[in-house]
Amino acid sequence: MAEPSQAPSPPIPRRVNAAVIGAGPAGLVAARELRREGHSVTVFEKGSQIGGTWVYTPEFESVDPLGIDPTRPVVHSSMYESLRTNLPREVMGFMDYPFVAGGGGGGGVDADGRRFPGHREVLRYLEEFAREFGIGEGIVRLEREVVNVAPVEDGSGRSWKVTSVNSNNKEAEEEMEEEVFDAVVVCNGHHSQPRIADFPGFKSWPGKQIHSHNYRTPQPFKDQVVVLIGHAPSGADLSINIAGVAKEVHVASTTVVDPNNNNINYPSQIHPTFPNIWIHPMVEKACGDGSVVFGDGVTVFPDIIIHCTGYTFHFPFITREGIVTVEDSSVRPLYKHVFPPAWAPGISFVGLPHRTLLFPLFELQSKWISGVLSGRISLPSDEEMMRDVNDFYSAIQAAGVPTRHTHNMLATAALEGDDYSDWVAAQCQCLGVESWRRGMYLASRSNAQARPETFRDEWEDDELVLQAHRYFASLKQ
């Protein structure tokens, strides 16, 4: 008699032993998602506490204040003392762990209940998140810096050797450890390796130059003439901060052009609120006599130039050729900003996209990686992923998007087809970014443009705030 036919049993989920590099927001949520999927996790954190960028320190890099040498001793965080978030807390938190004032993170006697809180409140939220999801001792190894990550040379790409050192005693060979993991999730953050403005005379200019990575407080600039290059969020914040104490602040911004698209002799604009801030087009040249000449012909003799020109990606622990390269702030080749096709899913990257809602995206990318590692979610073949990668790079080039914007979600939105975070959510078969959150993100961006100095304290999206709180309440039911 024939055996009764049986439905094929579902594949047994693979449980892997994963290393996460970094315990900032990306590493913490990656650890949570990996554990939820049943994987075992070790988080390596070179600092003495969790929180990444949100751990403020008054220390800065005084020896190489432009951060030109990538092998210099690095102070990880670029946080400045006065920083308040540039997004409202409702949209900024992880999707299932709301960042609300006084609870679900952010409570306590010294809580900062503002809608755009200071950096300490974000750190408190991350610490509560880690506590809530058991990402602490036994999982996070503090003061362990990963110095090398390489595939175990059995050709399978299925296991990875992770070499770590004691961050406080890097040279001590007896403290160096080599361990083998099934997978490595890279969450090392991308705000520590400065990008520098290059203009004629930049290298030989005799005055002091620093990058905003090394800015902490305005006091050192008291009564000085300061040139700031760049007017993105950090440049805008710093100009106002410094204007409170400096004699003059001159901001060089790419967004200033004259009506004929000709920067020459265009009069500088005085800042509408701060009479000692001038906004100019970009620096045309810096001269040996200490002067700096802007595209509008204005010449000043600054005490200091501060480059607020953003950051580039840096993975000093990936030394083996053929995994990824970084060229002009573009990490290649990566399938959907996460997996290098030839090595997927053994090594993955969380948090490369920017100019978007970061914490929710870290969460979605982490769910995707965790599901792929267990076999619950499939990836296309290496060849198909590589084709997708190449198509994406060709599309960027054809659209005239500069290479450095490869991971800039605003610049590439139209090329990604679907919204990128929706695409990742669809892979995970989970809900994507909620519509109220998306609406609030757009509303807060417009508000910041309309009220650049006061957007953190004045807004018109109270209806969306109510929707957000209704949504947060529904999560508790």
Summarize as ranges the residues that interact with ligand FAD (CB under 6 A).
Answer: 21-27, 44-47, 52-54, 76, 78-79, 83, 85-87, 92, 145-146, 187-189, 191, 234, 317, 351, 358-359
Query: Toward ligand FAD, which CB reaches closer, 92 or 130?
Result: 92
The residue among 24 and 151 lying less far from ligand FAD, judged by its C-beta, is: 24
Q: Which is nearer to ligand FAD, 104 or 295 (CB)?
A: 104
Cα atoms in the Cβ-side hemisphere of radius 13 Å centred on 44: 27
Cβ 410 to ligand FAD shortest distance, Å: 14
The two tokens of residue 428 are: 């995970």
Distance (Å, whole) CA 225 – CA 216:
18
- For ligand FAD, the closer of residues 25 and 98 by Cβ is 25
Our CB check for ligand FAD shows the closer of 24 and 67 to be 24
Measured from the CB atom, is 83 or 256 closer to ligand FAD?
83
Return d(Cα 366, Cα 380) in angstroms, integer: 18
CA-CA distances (angstroms) from residue 186 to 69, 336, 346?
Answer: 22, 15, 11
Q: How far is the CB of 36 from ligand FAD (least distance, A)?
A: 18
Q: How far is the CB of 315 from ligand FAD (least distance, A)?
A: 8
The minimum distance between CB 278 and ligand FAD, in angstroms, equals 24
State in angstroms the smallest separation of the CB of 204 from ligand FAD: 29
Q: Least distance to ligand FAD from the beta carbon of 390, Å?
A: 26
Burial profile 132-147: b = 16 or more Cβ within 10 angstroms, e = fewer: ebebeeebbbbbbbbb
Nearer to ligand FAD, 32 or 191 (CB): 191
Least distance CB 113 / ligand FAD (angstroms): 16
Instruction: Kindly state the smallest distance separating residue 468's Cβ from ligand FAD, in Å.
Output: 16
Give bridge partners of residue 307 from the DSSP assignment.
Answer: 211, 229
Which region holds residue 123: left if phi is over 0, alpha if psi is between -120 and 50, else beta? alpha
Compute the distance between CA of residue 120 and CA of residue 93 in angstroms, rounded to an integer: 14
d(CA 127, CA 51): 7
Q: In whole angstroms, what is the distance from residue 307 CA to residue 64 CA?
A: 13
Kind and range of the H or E element at 19? strand 17-21
CA–CA separation, 409 vs 17, rounded Å?
31
Instruction: Provide the minimum distance between the beta carbon of 378 and ligand FAD in the complex, in angstroms, as a whole number.
Output: 26
CB 377 within 8 A of CB 430: no
CB of 401 to ligand FAD, least distance (A): 21
Q: In whole angstroms, how close is the CB of 258 to ligand FAD at the nearest point?
A: 31
For residue 271, give Cα distances in angstroms to 173, 219, 246, 268, 293. Answer: 55, 21, 14, 9, 19
**Angstrom distances, CA of residue 6 to CA of 2, 10, 12, 376:** 12, 12, 17, 21
Least separation in angstroms between CB 213 and ligand FAD: 8
* Residue 351 DSSP code: S
State which amino acid sits at residue 140: V
C-beta closer to ligand FAD: residue 99 or 199: 99
CB contact set of 73 (below 8 Å; sequence gap of 6+): 61, 63
When the beta carbons of 151 and 194 are compared against ligand FAD, the nearer one is 194
In 271-409, DSSP assigns E strands to: 277-280, 283-286, 292-294, 299-300, 304-307, 311-312, 325-327, 330-332, 347-349
The number of residues making up the chain comes to 477
User: In Å, how far are 74, 232, 238, 305, 438 from 292, measured between CA atoms?
Assistant: 29, 21, 19, 9, 42
For ligand FAD, which is the closer residue by CB, 165 or 256? 165
Residue 118 DSSP SS3: strand
CB-nearer residue toward ligand FAD: 280 or 314: 314
Given the complex with ligand FAD, which of 75 and 227 has the nearer CB atom?
75
